Chains A and B, each alone.
Chain A
């Protein structure tokens, strides 16, 4: 009934007879869904600080509290989403629920007023994001040739990041056309989101976990994600996550020493995103060729260099751009590569849960890292704190390398 199962590798046809396999249409479709949704969500989140402080009248401190709330909610729901996709055998419909919740939250922004209402709406959006990520990544794994997984995630993340780059531009263009009309942004954002959901519902096939009816129970899921195969990668991802500070801190460090960075502060995110979207596919392919674990670990080497560049007491335009480029390299080498690595380590029926476990571990440890870094920053300033984190990361990278050694070969037979 759905588009076809033709593009599903290993489902009968003989892929990879020497020639490069094509990226599955499912991956491209999911990329388009993510792109539309990211245009929608980034257009809102780029103006949210302005809206909350200028229109609703929250102080920057209250806004900061909300941002913390996002993180917590998102991490918890993520694992539930992964499990729900595995358990029901319908990852697509879990993803639809996630994308749908985010879309509806845009409309709810229209009448929302006051701290509580906006918190609820923003939480619903994050809830949706948490819910959809793991089942969607499981779908990508399901639709792709295992040997080309890095590239498939690279394609998806490129489209996703294009959306993230366009979103703020849409928002600021609208604010220029209809000054002060935040409602216009919410309505346009909703329109993008709803088209994204439509593409997902109408065109993305509901690829079931290949094990078919083998529904896994909670206990089985816990056994899978705490099992021997996942233990080392999860520990490695957590150790690295603990030393990954939010990019906001890097931007703040840059703006303190460089007037260019201060003036064009909102553009720093765009710079990182551009580097990320240009590199996501090449680094994904590299990961397919030389090993995902290797690229993942090397990506943290780029992050380490990025810390050191940002910690330099003085800098100019060149150094700022170099720092952004390295941050983009880091994201391109890790964000899509991690699910590519994990999804081959767990049996297909627990794939969503496995991916979710890894992503949750990364999200939680990065959040903890940002808290620790915030304290350190307050005590001794940005430069010194970055150097401390760079030194710790330099010690952690070899440890992670050891933990992940040989992991690329330890695949579960698909």
Chain B
């Protein structure tokens, strides 16, 4: 081959590569735009202020279209009916009657994240420090305490814990109470000092007590913590992302058991009797669930169809009976305000 023919071959390969890859990306972009344009418009109705005065669900709307990612509200009386959109856009949202917490990403070359506190008419009142990828957030029942969990980052084999979370509890006034990973963790009477300790998924009991997940050395526990004493104590193994029932007697959680890694089964633990009940949902759920009432829990599940960016909020009875069914279509991160 002469130099000339080699140059020509390279140019040809270059052209095929550029046109092929460019064409593929362009086509994907066009088809994404088409999907958004052709998406059936989501029904909207209701007045926001009025909805806030009756039992309702606040969630992140994942219906394709211009409103993708916006926080929406539906009345509990008609959860799969038309929704009312709020002005806020969040990746993860939680709300009480008094306020709401919104974890949002500022996407760019380096994506940064922020935690915004919103008042009952969705105006920003405060901003909390947030480092890393937002994962979980909860407010206390009276809306005065807020907990956020973020993934600072995952890493590789031989790196401790493989991922690192931060779980910060603050007052909604902006005062930071602390990173609960720095609290004293006791498991079976022994204080755990290992630095691969991670905590996530806080659920508040009252102004001092809370439940959360603690992990170290590949094990997870349900822990009960005290904000004033700055301690957390393990109650039970293999519990992740606890959520306390409205009557305060049970905790719903995701259980890893002997499932393949990255898979969980929903279960409910009775704090008084110690009984554990597996729920009827057999799909793997990676979410901190929410209670619809004392008998039913709700949670988000990604849509099964490949390439779908959408998800639905499902409900299932909390006593292991019945069947899961969809509560709200095209929704994620539900918070029940009743």
Residue of chain B at shortest CB distance from A1: B1
Q: Does A181 contact B (CB under 8 A)?
A: yes
Q: Which residues of A contact B263 (CB under 8 A)?
A: 57
> What is the size, in residues, of chain A's interface with B at 8 Å between Cβ atoms?
64
Q: Does B160 contact A (CB under 8 A)?
A: yes
Give a binary string over A182-222; 1 marks a CB under 8 Å from any B CB, 0 the rest: 01100110111011001100110000000000000000000
Within residues 1 to 26 of chain B, which ones have a CB less than 8 A from any CB in chain A?
1, 3, 6, 9-10, 13-14, 17-18, 20-21, 24-25
Of the candidates B10, B154, B158, which one forms a contact with A49 in the assembled complex, judged by CB atoms under 8 Å apart?
Answer: B154
Q: How far is the CA of A3 from the CA of B284 in the complex (A)?
A: 58
Known contacts being A198-B10, A252-B164, A262-B152, is A187 close to B159, with CB within 8 Å? no
Q: Which residues of B contact A194 (CB under 8 A)?
A: 13, 17
Cβ of A187 and Cβ of B262 under 8 Å apart? no
Within residues 175 to 220 of chain B, which ones have a CB less than 8 A from any CB in chain A?
194-196, 217-218
Q: Does B132 contact A (CB under 8 A)?
A: yes
Q: How far is the CA of A378 from the CA of B164 in the complex (A)?
A: 13
Q: How far is the CA of A172 from the CA of B196 in the complex (A)?
A: 29
Q: Does B156 contact A (CB under 8 A)?
A: yes
Name the prevailing secondary structure of the A interface residues. Answer: helix
Q: Which residues of B contact A373 (CB under 8 A)?
A: 158
Min CB distance, A269 to chain B, in Å?
A: 11
Cβ of B261 and Cβ of A61 under 8 Å apart? yes
Q: Which residues of A contact B109 (CB under 8 A)?
A: 169, 172-173
Known contacts being A191-B18, A202-B10, is A177 close to B162, with CB within 8 Å? no
Q: Does B32 contact A (CB under 8 A)?
A: yes
Min CB distance, B161 to chain A, in Å?
A: 8
Cβ of A3 and Cβ of B21 under 8 Å apart? no
Q: Does A382 contact B (CB under 8 A)?
A: yes
Q: Which residues of A contact B9 (CB under 8 A)?
A: 198, 202
Cβ of A63 and Cβ of B28 under 8 Å apart? no
Q: Does A64 contact B (CB under 8 A)?
A: yes
Cβ of A246 and Cβ of B158 under 8 Å apart? yes
Give a binary string over B124-139; 1 marks a CB under 8 Å from any A CB, 0 the rest: 0000010110000000
Q: Which residues of B contact A199 (CB under 8 A)?
A: 10
Q: Does B307 contact A (CB under 8 A)?
A: yes
Q: Which residues of A contact B196 (CB under 8 A)?
A: 377-378
Cβ of B159 and Cβ of A266 under 8 Å apart? no
Q: How far is the CA of A377 from the CA of B262 in the complex (A)?
A: 25
Cβ of A371 and Cβ of B158 under 8 Å apart? yes
Q: Which residues of A contact B28 (CB under 8 A)?
A: 178, 181, 183-184
Min CB distance, B10 to chain A, in Å?
A: 5
Q: Which residues of B contact A58 (CB under 8 A)?
A: 261-262
> What is the size, in residues, of chain B's interface with A at 8 Å between Cβ atoms?
50
Give a binary string over B153-175; 1 marks a CB under 8 Å from any A CB, 0 the rest: 11111111111101000000000
Within residues 202 to 242 of chain B, which ones have a CB less than 8 A from any CB in chain A?
217-218
Known contacts being A49-B154, A178-B32, A378-B196, is A187 close to B160, with CB within 8 Å? no
Q: Does A166 contact B (CB under 8 A)?
A: no
Residue of chain B at shortest CB distance from A174: B25
Of the candidates A67, A174, A202, A264, which one forms a contact with B6 in the assembled complex, judged by CB atoms under 8 Å apart?
Answer: A202
Of the candidates B13, B112, B156, which one forms a contact with A263 in the assembled complex, judged by CB atoms under 8 Å apart?
Answer: B112
Q: Which residues of A contact B158 (CB under 8 A)?
A: 64, 68, 246, 367, 370-371, 373-374
Min CB distance, B19 to chain A, in Å?
A: 9
Within residues 291 to 307 of chain B, which ones have a CB less than 8 A from any CB in chain A?
307
Residue of chain B at shortest CB distance from A115: B260
Min CB distance, A4 to chain B, in Å?
A: 9
Q: Does B107 contact A (CB under 8 A)?
A: yes
Known contacts being A202-B6, A248-B155, A252-B159, is A259 close to B194, with CB within 8 Å? no
Cβ of B195 and Cβ of A378 under 8 Å apart? yes
Cβ of B262 and Cβ of A53 under 8 Å apart? yes
Min CB distance, A6 to chain B, in Å?
A: 13
Min CB distance, B330 to chain A, in Å?
A: 16
Residue of chain B at shortest CB distance from A113: B306
Cβ of A64 and Cβ of B159 under 8 Å apart? yes
Q: How far is the CA of A61 from the CA of B156 in the complex (A)?
A: 8
Known contacts being A181-B32, A255-B152, is A377 close to B160, with CB within 8 Å? yes
Residue of chain A at shortest CB distance from B11: A198
Residue of chain B at shortest CB distance from A68: B157
Q: How far is the CA of A373 from the CA of B32 in the complex (A)?
A: 45
Cβ of B132 and Cβ of A262 under 8 Å apart? yes
Of the candidates B3, B17, B153, which one forms a contact with A3 in the assembled complex, judged by CB atoms under 8 Å apart?
Answer: B3
Q: Does A176 contact B (CB under 8 A)?
A: yes
Q: How far is the CA of A259 from the CA of B130 in the complex (A)?
A: 10
Residue of chain A at shortest CB distance from B166: A262
Min CB distance, B254 to chain A, in Å?
A: 12
Of the candidates A169, A195, A246, A265, which one forms a contact with B13 in the assembled complex, judged by CB atoms under 8 Å apart?
Answer: A195
Residue of chain A at shortest CB distance from B2: A1
Cβ of B162 and Cβ of A190 under 8 Å apart? no
Cβ of B162 and Cβ of A264 under 8 Å apart? no
Min CB distance, A158 to chain B, in Å?
A: 22
Q: Does A318 contact B (CB under 8 A)?
A: no
Known contacts being A179-B309, A191-B17, is A184 close to B155, with CB within 8 Å? no
Of the candidates B10, B218, B284, B307, which one forms a contact with A61 in the assembled complex, judged by CB atoms under 8 Å apart?
Answer: B218
Task: Enumerate 24 A-B pairs (CB-CB under 8 Å) in ascending A order.
Answer: A53-B262, A60-B154, A60-B163, A61-B162, A65-B157, A66-B157, A67-B157, A68-B157, A71-B157, A115-B260, A177-B25, A178-B25, A188-B21, A188-B25, A198-B13, A203-B10, A252-B155, A255-B152, A262-B131, A264-B110, A371-B158, A378-B161, A378-B194, A382-B195
- 7 further A-B contacts with Cβ under 8 Å, apart from A64-B158, A371-B158, are A64-B159, A179-B309, A183-B24, A191-B18, A255-B152, A263-B131, A377-B196
Residues of A within 8 A of B (CB): 1, 3, 49, 53, 57-68, 71, 115, 169, 172-174, 176-181, 183-184, 187-188, 190-192, 194-195, 198-199, 202-203, 246, 248-249, 252, 255, 259, 262-267, 367, 370-371, 373-374, 377-382
Residues of B within 8 A of A (CB): 1, 3, 6, 9-10, 13-14, 17-18, 20-21, 24-25, 28-29, 32, 107-110, 112, 129, 131-132, 152-164, 166, 194-196, 217-218, 260-263, 284, 307, 309
